[in-house]
Amino acid sequence: MHKAQFLKNQENIPPHDPNAPAILGIKQIMHTLPHRYPFQMVDKIIHLDAQSVTGIKNVTINEPFFQGHFPGTPIMPGVLQVEALAQTGGILVLNTVPDPENYLTYFLGIDACRFRKMVVPGDTLVLHCKLLTDVKRGFSKMQGRIFVGEQLTCEATMLAQIAKQKNEDRP
């Protein structure tokens, strides 16, 4: 990475104080998102406003995907990093409706996805999404980035839609 790009990335690193209380803990996240084990990819939300969200995912060797990806050299699959970003972005767009528990978020597209560094057990992912466009008719476009410490590990532009659940969609 060129020095100018490194400095640009450092300026945009979302702050993360591991001692700060969560804005949304796991129970509130589970109340908002339908994802459950082994597909729950966000442990807590540490920042949430109308334009951006920052979440945390603690990566441990106990993750079920490490059994096969790869034995002896555990690496978090890139597609699951993107899923963690999508779930974090889902919390952001669901924050635009008064009753988020009655909506589902659908991941519609991804552009310009790049993986910059391998993610391994012991890493703490700082997941940051910001809206690139206002949510209109349930559609939103977001820029997502993942950091481990000061290192950018993944970035992507994502398109999502929120839709009100029908009664037959609810558990």
DSSP string, 124-150: EEEEEEEESS--BTTEEEEEEEEEETT
Which of 31, 35, 69, 128 is flagged as catalytic? Answer: 69
Catalytic (active site) residue 69: yes
- Tell me the two tokens of residue 1: 């990475």
Burial tier of 17 (Cβ tally within 10 Å: 0-12, 13-18, 19+): exposed
Q: Are 142 and 70 in contact (CB under 8 A)?
A: no
Angle (nearest 5°) at CA 60 between 46 and 27: 40
For the annotated catalytic residues, the residue numbers are 69
